[in-house]
Amino acid sequence: MSNEDQLWDAVQNRDATRDGEFFYGVMTTGVYCRPSCASRLALRKNVRFFATPAEAESAGLRPCKRCRPKGASAAVLNKVVHELARQIDAQPEETFSLEQLAQRAGYSPFHFQRSFKAIMGSSPKEYQTAARVRMLKQELRNEKPVADAIYQAGFGSGSRVYEKADGQLGMTPSEYRSGGKGLTISYASGPTPLGLMMIGATDRGICFLQFGDTDEALLKELRQQFAAATVQAMPDSHRPEFEAWLGALNRHLRGLEPRLDLPLDVRGTAFQLIVWRYLQKVPYGEVRSYSEVAAAIGKPKAVRAVASACASNSVALLIPCHRVVRGTGELGGYRWGVQRKRVLLDTERAASKR
């Protein structure tokens, strides 16, 4: 241990890099803490230093309920969570007990699950389901029988994977194994105030709505995103519906139709879907910061994951990721260009003041 003046400096500065190296106890309150504890700073004369939690408890002190000094430090917890994630990725078919995992990190199951979600963007159960879906895809690509692939990936029954297939596999296992022959996406493009726009739709709704410079580039992007599907030009029988969609979108882009009510067929991870649903609730003409979105969905530490979910959005306008900005008020990034984002926000603000 360093000398006590250095230890006291670390406590005053709430130095998280020293967590785990030593602990300090406040003799007047009977509580001991880690150096980074955000509790009110005690008087120096009432503080003692300890090398381990056991030493502090031998002196009659109890652990702080705020900083949980007996649990792993933030750095250790982050390492444990990522080690666990790698273990799940390597063995998705295995069953992992939340209680056992939490015990490894030194936290309660509730606190560990909350920390895992903050760091990885999903709960351990959601993360494992995503890993199992990836393994299922691999088994299907290797031409394993559907039933064998389902059980090899760790799904207890066929019904379980069919529950998950619509949200993460993008189609049924049989459709996926046959190259997505059962999924057809029709596309068409048209001019808008923000440039060329292409719409791709299944029989359930719009799955692709993006801006670009050429039809060729947009079609290439559509095919890359839905490589296993049949992609075809919008049939004449559906042109009236497409024209109606395009008209509604153009009125929206001019500030004449704030609310868009078009059918959607989007797929993503559990975390992405949570973010996208929240974005659809952000009022027209308003913005939220990435940290505000993270807090609103109950994952305040998942700011980067929120930004990633916004960047993964394939359906412009209908999932209004342009309404998310940096905490400083700067626009931040936008998949279809910052200038388009600026025009969208300016148009919405002006229209909402009418």
Which residues does the annotation mark as catalytic? 33, 321
Q: How far apart are CA 285 and CA 301, in angstroms?
A: 26
Q: How far apart are CA 262 and CA 94, in angstroms?
A: 41
Q: How far apart are CA 108 and CA 207, in angstroms?
A: 40
**Which residues on neighbouring strands pair with residue 211, listed in sequence order?**
197
Pull the structure tokens for residue 332.
């931040």
In 46-153, the DSSP E strands lie at: 47-50, 62-63
For the chain, state the CA radius of gyration. Answer: 26
Q: Could you tell me if 323 and 282 are in contact, meaning their C-beta atoms sit under 8 angstroms apart?
A: yes
Q: Could you tell me if 221 and 212 are in contact, meaning their C-beta atoms sit under 8 angstroms apart?
A: yes
**Which residues on neighbouring strands pair with residue 191, listed in sequence order?**
196
Which strands, in side-by-side order, build the sheet including 206-212?
Answer: 206-212, 195-201, 184-192, 230-233
